[in-house]
Amino acid sequence: MNNKLNKLYNSIGDNELNNQKTTMSLVDEHLKLFNENKLKVDTYSLLSILGVKNGQGIKAELKSYKQLSFITAKRKAIVDKLLLPLADFKQLVEVETAKPKAKTKTEKKKGKEEKKQIVELDYAVNKSNDLIKKNVIRTTANNIVLPICFLASQDKSNYTFKDNKVKVNIKNLSVEVVKSVFGFNKDKAEVHAMQCNLALLTKLAKADLLAVEVNRGQEETEETENLEDAVEDTTKSEFSEEKANNIVKGISAMLKYLDDNESYDHILQIQNYISDLENYGFETESIVETLRKQSNNTINKDLYGCWVADNSTKLTANTMEELKKQFANKYKIAI
């Protein structure tokens, strides 16, 4: 075993645990400010942004949101109007800007000339490091919104911070919430409080504050974002046969998933996309074009993957229902 590699991996794990402990300290500090009525920036406070009069109203307000977009908008408002400005990070606030005006050729040329400048050796590295740091700070602010909201919705006697953990009284939590987060039936266990690290506190906040459909939607959104990141990483880097083979395996698994779940509309949309691929279309067309030329257009075939068709007709459906109707209308089938 390579002891140096082992130590390096362990160091990464320890760093992550330390980051979570620091994040819990952030949650603790925000709750102290909230309980002292100091969690404010100008006219904005946690309660005013959520539109409630006191902490007890937070849960009912957030539970009333049935769409993830509403939760996302509130979280963004809390981060941009409260958390980041309070910590003197106004430069990280996301500002909605109008679409920039299209540049003239002269402006574009001037911009290129301005970019032709001598830069320091570490310029790109320093810029990248700065961006990483800013992203981590903003992501952390996003991640602590729900834990702060959950604890703010509780009476301050219901929780206690100690050693980067928080002990939460489970008396006022539902049986379902306790079961989903901690894995036991609170009615059958003589336990009145549970210790939470950041991960458990976040899970508890989501289970208690969010409607079931929103909670499920958030999990699906996270899965989608992870998939989008993986796709972006794959398609931006240099092409290789090995990568292409891995893409085929991934796409095959996803198509089987759609088929197993009878998601035929989506499979049809993928099939339509393949038929519209420009380079692939030219390549398959060149195969049948040779036959047309040699037969003086007496033999006309169309090629779809490994299927050969005679004078095929293209329909324009994007769902199976549309496909059935168009096919029936084309060939006079009663349905």
300-311, pLDDT tens digit by residue? 888 888 888 887
| Same domain, residue pair 73 and 146 | yes
| Same domain, residue pair 55 and 195 | yes
- Whether pLDDT at 151 is above 90: yes
| Same domain, residue pair 13 and 125 | yes
Q: Looking at the domain assignment, is residue 103 inside a domain?
A: no
Encoding tokens for residue 22?
Answer: 């620091």
| Whole-number Å distance between alpha carbons of 196 and 161 | 10
| Whole-number Å distance between alpha carbons of 151 and 31 | 7
| Whole-number Å distance between alpha carbons of 56 and 154 | 7
The whole-number pLDDT of residue 120 equals 62
Q: In this structure, are residues 140 and 20 in contact, taking their beta carbons and an 8 Å threshold?
A: no
Q: Name the band, by pLDDT with cuts 50, 70 and 90, for residue 100.
A: low
Higher pLDDT among residues 151 and 108, named by residue: 151
Last residue of a domain, one of 172, 196, 225: 225
Please compute the mean of the pLDDT values over residues 6-23 and round it to a whole number.
92
| Whole-number Å distance between alpha carbons of 69 and 213 | 12
The whole-number pLDDT of residue 205 equals 95
- Whether pLDDT at 112 is above 60: no
Q: Looking at the domain assignment, is residue 107 inside a domain?
A: no
b/e code 230-247 from CB counts within 10 Å (16+ = b): eeeeeeeeeeeeeeeeee
| Same domain, residue pair 289 and 150 | no
What backbone phi and psi angles, to 5 degrees, belong to 301?
A: -125, 155
Last residue of a domain, one of 169, 195, 225: 225
The whole-number pLDDT of residue 275 equals 86
- Whether pLDDT at 79 is above 90: yes
Q: In this structure, are residues 200 and 219 in contact, taking their beta carbons and an 8 Å threshold?
A: no
* 25-34, 118-127, 180-189: least confident range: 118-127
Please compute the mean of the pLDDT values over residues 215-219 and round it to a whole number.
62
| Same domain, residue pair 219 and 264 | no
The whole-number pLDDT of residue 94 equals 72
Q: Looking at the domain assignment, is residue 122 inside a domain?
A: yes
The whole-number pLDDT of residue 312 equals 81
The whole-number pLDDT of residue 316 equals 87
Domains in the chain, number: 2
| Same domain, residue pair 295 and 165 | no
| Same domain, residue pair 250 and 196 | no
Domain assignment of residue 215, given as a range? 3-95+118-225
Instruction: Provide DSSP, 218-275.
Output: HHHHHHHHHHHHHHHHHHHSPP-HHHHHHHHHHHHHHHHHHHHTT-HHHHHHHHHHHH
The whole-number pLDDT of residue 108 equals 55
| Same domain, residue pair 158 and 250 | no
Q: Looking at the domain assignment, is residue 100 inside a domain?
A: no
Residue type, 20: Q
| Whole-number Å distance between alpha carbons of 44 and 38 | 11
Q: Looking at the domain assignment, is residue 203 inside a domain?
A: yes
Higher pLDDT among residues 138 and 107, named by residue: 138
| Whole-number Å distance between alpha carbons of 274 and 280 | 8
Higher pLDDT among residues 126 and 76, named by residue: 76
The structure's pTM equals 0.61
- Whether pLDDT at 234 is above 60: yes
- Whether pLDDT at 240 is above 60: yes
What backbone phi and psi angles, to 5 degrees, belong to 298?
A: -85, -20
| Whole-number Å distance between alpha carbons of 203 and 147 | 9
| Same domain, residue pair 125 and 162 | yes
The whole-number pLDDT of residue 237 equals 74
Please compute the mean of the pLDDT values over residues 123-151 and round it to a whole number.
89
| Same domain, residue pair 43 and 18 | yes
How many Cβ atoms sit within 10 Å of the Cβ of residue 10? 10
Q: Looking at the domain assignment, is residue 278 inside a domain?
A: yes
| Same domain, residue pair 143 and 270 | no
**Percent with pLDDT over 90 in the chain:** 46
Q: Give 105-111 contacts, CB < 8 A, sequence gap 24+.
A: none
Q: Looking at the domain assignment, is residue 104 inside a domain?
A: no
Q: Looking at the domain assignment, is residue 149 inside a domain?
A: yes
Higher pLDDT among residues 266 and 228, named by residue: 266
> What's the burial of 21, exposed, middle or buried (CB within 10 Å: 0-12/13-18/19+)?
middle
SS3 174: coil
- Whether pLDDT at 221 is above 70: no
Neighbouring-strand partners of residue 40 = 45
Higher pLDDT among residues 172 and 213, named by residue: 172
| Same domain, residue pair 62 and 183 | yes
CA dihedral of residues 14, 20, 22, 26 (deg, nearest 10): 180
- Whether pLDDT at 20 is above 60: yes
The whole-number pLDDT of residue 98 equals 47
Encoding tokens for residue 123?
Answer: 């310029």
Last residue of a domain, one of 174, 197, 225: 225
Give residues with Cβ within 8 angstroms of 266, minimum separation 6.
258
Q: What average pLDDT is seen over the chain?
A: 86
